[in-house]
Amino acid sequence: MVLKDHIPKDQYEELVKRRAKELHQHKARTTSVLSRLLFASPNSPLQYPIQGFKVLPLTSTLIPGLALHAGERSSYKVSLNVSKGVLTTESTAKGIKVQGDDGTRLILESSSLVILNYLLSKVNYTSTVYHIHTADLASFQFENHEAVFPITIKQPRLPVLYDMGTDISSHVTIITKTFLRYKQLKVLLSSIRSFYSNIEVVIADDNLKPEHITGDHIRQYIMPPAQGWFAGRNLAVSQVTTKYFLWVDDDFVFTAKTKIEKLVEVMEEFPELDVLGGTVQGNQFYFSLIYEEGEEMDGGCLYRKSKGKFHSLPGYPKCFLASGVVNFFLARTQAVQRVGFDPKLQRVAHSEFFMDGLGSLMVATCDHVSIGHQQLKGYKYEISYSKFRHPGKGDTERKLQLHFFKNHLKCVKYG
């Protein structure tokens, strides 16, 4: 599906210009010299750090591991060059010449290799521009040999930890979004209480005529009418205070197989996981996403493959990694809050969340935890609801136009 074919012709040229500007700003925020491909020269006499050297912004830090391993010479001369900081070393040692101390280019020269290496072991780097996450490339030279190594300049982040407590209610909050389905919502809530008497339930409600939902451990947030599914998800997730939340649709129903504890067990076993899906009425929907960046001006292509999956989780043969899962999943609250749900997607939107989370969210699916699905035929708002649930062609066109600009895509393929 070529997305530019869904852009009005009279808007295309200006839209592409705005998209190119946004892409440039995106790259300025997300790329650095750490993306540059570096090669190590063969048989180099230079010793230097190749990975893991991090410094705080504007803070003097010793560069570890600098040394020269060379045969006997009458004189040894090395230089270090940086661009986003300054270099300093001790200048009191006898028998050595130091040039450019406290500058971007530091030159050390001595007739003694031992003294030279002593001074190299005392070289400090200090970044001169404040940035929370950037990098510098240091050039280390001796005669015809040159090595380039990265210096990561990063402000450390404070950890955000959750006190899990001992009860499932301190681990997980159940969240849902409801619209024109109060009857089904009440069935869902009743089923939750049949298995989890005190777990917190957060409801985002954008009904046309809101009805107050009562009950212990229930928080209902009334929204303006018909704001849409993703706006409701954002609201609900923003109110979660537990480490995890369980997303359920308002027409689902808990059964004896809806064991939240089993999903938490897998997430705790694999802390790198962010989203873990289950099955709905035996349906274990999942998919993989393959993204090809393509040419910068044209944009990339995204291929969504239904039933696409990766390898299983060690020790859990019924769980395996994927890119997206069914609409019943346990998620790490902090990780999902970082990705968010685009409120421009009001109606049919599920894969789009995982598209936005590609490269940010580690996703898996399991088939040993399941939830039921209520029958919807014949209820009061069926006709009215269908108009919102199955929007016209215009909604689909807007979604494709959004992919073109926001995700910088040239094409989307479904298979």
Confidence label for 388 from pLDDT (cuts 50, 70 and 90): low
pLDDT of residue 375: 84
The pLDDT-based confidence of 399 (bands split at 50, 70, 90) is confident
Tell whether the model's pLDDT for residue 377 goes beyond 70.
no
Strand 244-247 and strand 286-292: pairing?
unpaired
Q: How many helices and strands in the chain, by DSSP H and E?
A: 9, 25
Contact 148, 40 (CB under 8 A): no
Cα 141 versus chain centre, distance: 38
The per-residue pLDDT for range 9-24, each reduced to its tens digit, is 888 888 888 888 888 8
Which among 241, 274, 247, 270 is positioned nearest to 260, based on CA atoms? 247
Percentage of the chain beyond pLDDT 90 is: 71
Which residues are bridge partners to 105 per DSSP? 81
Question: Which residues does 356 contact at the CB level (< 8 Å), separation at least 6?
Answer: 339, 340, 342, 407
The answer to which of 9-23, 185-199, 281-295 has the lowest mean pLDDT is: 9-23
Please write the tens of the pLDDT for every residue from 236-247: 999 999 999 999
Higher pLDDT, 2 or 381: 2
Q: What is the CATH number of domain 168-414?
A: 3.90.550.10
Mean pLDDT, the chain, rounded, equals 91
Task: Provide the CA 93 distance to its chain's centre, in angstroms.
Answer: 49
CA distance 362 to 118: 45
Please indicate whether residue 91 or residue 157 has the higher confidence score (pLDDT). 157
Contacts of 39 (CB under 8 A, 6+ apart): none
Q: Is the pLDDT of residue 401 over 70?
A: yes
pLDDT of residue 346: 76
Mean pLDDT for 376-391 is 56
pLDDT reported for residue 384: 55
Using 50, 70 and 90 to split pLDDT, how confident is the model at 114?
A: very high
Least confident of 31-45, 52-66, 213-227, 369-383: 369-383
pLDDT band at residue 389 under the 50/70/90 scheme: low
What was the pLDDT predicted at 390? 55
Quickly tell me which residue has 């270099």 as its tokens.
87
Stretch 303-321: mean pLDDT: 95
Where are the chain's structural domains? Answer: 40-154, 168-414
pTM (predicted TM-score): 0.86
Q: Cα torsion at 341, 227, 379, 395 (round to 10°)? A: -80
pLDDT at 392: 61
Looking at domain 40-154, does it have CATH number 3.30.310?
A: no
